Chain A
Amino acid sequence: MRLCGAMVLVSAALWGPLAGAQDRLSVTGEVDVRWVYATGVPSYLDGGLGTLRFDPDHDGPRLGYALLASRLRITDILTLHVVADAYGDHDRNFVDLSEAFIEARPFPTHSIRWNARVGAFFMPVSLENRGPGWTDVYSITPSALNTWLGEEFRTIGAEVEARWLGASQGYLGDVALVGAVYGWNDPAGVLLAERGFALTDRPSTLFGGLGMPPTTFYHQVGRNPGYYSGLTWRHHDRLEIRALRYDNRADPSAETATAFAWRTRFSTVGARLEPTAAWTFIVQYLDGDTAVGPNSVIAEQFKMTYRTVFALTSFEWNRERFTARFDDFRTHQLNGFFGPPSNDLGHAWTLGWMHDLGHGWQLAAEWLRVTSRFPPRVEIGESAGLIESQTQVAVRYRFHLGV
């Protein structure tokens, strides 16, 4: 929590001289409380191998989340972003940070606009998690793909983006290249190997971890910095395509007393089409591998490939939004067998409805069913094959303060 304290001090130090300036401090707060009905086995958040956030022992009235996303404009081109959140999932820290970074965005003087971020932040890849704190604007629970990216990945480092602003050249759209160098994310991949894919609206926080006992992801185990590079293309305000190559470049033989380094690499590509203001279609695909253990003993090195894809369609009409999504996911273990293989195979259906009540209030309902087969469940006395479902009705309130 030292970083958290430092952020508060920095914010307080900057607050004085900037008070009264034009919208220098912008705070968005959101609280989600919900009623949940779940079937299946204990969730991985409660020590099981279930793939949903809630389970029959942890349903009923629940806190979905409470978050505060603040933006402090230090100067016209420098902004401090801090997102603090609470989930109530037996977390080590009831309130924690999911992002804290400084962004520099100079005024463009020609058709290339530069943007840089330094700190801890989500990678720019999701086409559905458009809200603060990795929240999904189309339904309550994001896809398996974006659930995983929110769980195990945070860029703790520096990112630079160069965006070609097409409007200046008569093109209604833009193209951006992004690259980042980071560290402190060597354990990324461990959760996917131990549990398989999941569908939850529960991203990890920077200091708390996930699960019981909590698995933490933000450590530097080896010496190698990781990188990602990506491309975003926005065409005519109707189509957005994102592609990203990620490699944490961890040394799989490295370990500390509390964590192993997982060499995790993946490629992902996705498209969001909004042919009219009402309709949205999203498809996103991810394919990669992860490995842990000494390279010298290949047969004992745990190695796994994985891939997942989802397709989403959403229709917005007046105050209503209806969303349907299909997820498909699988993992395949190649090496290092010390028990049932971590071969996860499954698919999921999600139906969501959101109703804007006005004045910051929103009603959200979701039905989610996951069918999956994951052999390691046998080791804890459960069936490898499972059908789990979760029905949630959430009431949300969002407020915005600007000074």
Chain B
Amino acid sequence: MTHAIRPSSGTNRPRSRSATEYGGAARGFAKRVTFAGIIWVAFASLCDAGKLTVIVVDRSGRAVAEVVATAAAVPPKASAPAAEVATARMDQHDLAFVPRVLVVAIGTKVEFPNSDSVSHQVYSFSPAKRFQLPLYKGALHPAVTFDKAGLVVLGCNIHDQMVGYIYVTDAPFFGKTDSQGALHLTTVPAGDYLVTLWSPFVADDPATLTRTVHVGERDPASTRVQLTRDLRARPEPRPRRTDWEY
């Protein structure tokens, strides 16, 4: 991928060692350590530049995980073509798509292995990608290329309760919020960005789920979005009842 999403490096503050640890004889050494610390702090600040953090919380201020966030430059900038085709995986496990929500860049090849003991028939009739994977288990079918931006809703023709989502984006920076409700995008060049949020469980009007954020040359940028409507019920992992629904 051209723009890999890496975990946040966090704030790397050097640990200043007290000169008293080494006794009075170590005063000169301590000065050198302090000087090195100042240099390191400056370096860390430079590293923070290009970092964009998106935080999503619900009406009560609790973190909301698994929300897709994309960041696109405003005005749009031409991005370099991808050096190699990215691949991603949408597994099927315990009659559910894993992950339930996958966000990929345009052009990504997505594999659909079936790790269940029963067969699945995966399909999508979403305008962004129509495809059908006839009855299979394991990794029978080749990866599917998602070449158009948009939301692709996945289903299984045998198990209607299986629903998955692939969010195909042309934005250069993207990811999903973690269990803390946060997404840390690194290597974001300075500039203005339109941050867009999406989740099948967020009921807020999509028009209210965008923010314009300025990423400075030196300072990390962040935006915190508090949802105004209750989340839709999120399907829980259900025990297998060996259903044979009629």
Contact = CB atoms under 8 A, between A and B. Distances in A.
A131 B136 CA distance: 23
Given A108-B155, A109-B125, A130-B245, A237 B235 contact: yes
Given A107-B132, A170-B200, A131 B160 contact: no
A172 B126 contact: no
Contacts of A123: 246
Interface string B226-246: 000000110111110111111
B163 interface: yes
B157 A137 contact: no
Interface in B158-212: 158, 160-161, 163, 200
A105 B163 contact: no
Label chain B's interface by main secondary structure: loop
> How many A residues touch the partner, as a band?
35 or more
Given A126-B246, A172-B163, A277 B238 contact: yes
A277 B237 contact: yes
Interface residues of B, number: 35
Given A105-B157, A277-B237, A23 B163 contact: no
Nearest to A109: B125
A50 B5 CA distance: 69
Interface stretch (A161-169, A188-196, A368-376): A161-169
A111 B232 CA distance: 21
Contacts of A174: 160
Contact of B119 (A23, A170, A172): A23
Contacts of B157: 105, 107-108, 113
A124 interface: yes
Given A26-B118, A236-B232, A122 B242 contact: no
A167 B246 contact: no
A236 B123 contact: no
B161 A237 contact: yes
Contacts of B135: 22-24, 73, 76
Given A22-B136, A131-B244, A132-B244, A402 B117 contact: yes
A76 B134 contact: yes
Interface of A: 22-24, 26, 28, 69, 73, 76, 105, 107-111, 113, 121-124, 126, 129-132, 137, 163, 165, 167-168, 170, 172, 174, 234, 236-238, 274, 276-277, 316, 398, 400, 402
11 contacts: A22-B140, A24-B135, A107-B121, A109-B130, A113-B157, A129-B246, A130-B241, A165-B155, A236-B233, A400-B117, A402-B118
Cβ-closest 8 pairs across A and B: A23-B119, A236-B233, A167-B163, A132-B244, A237-B235, A277-B236, A76-B134, A124-B246
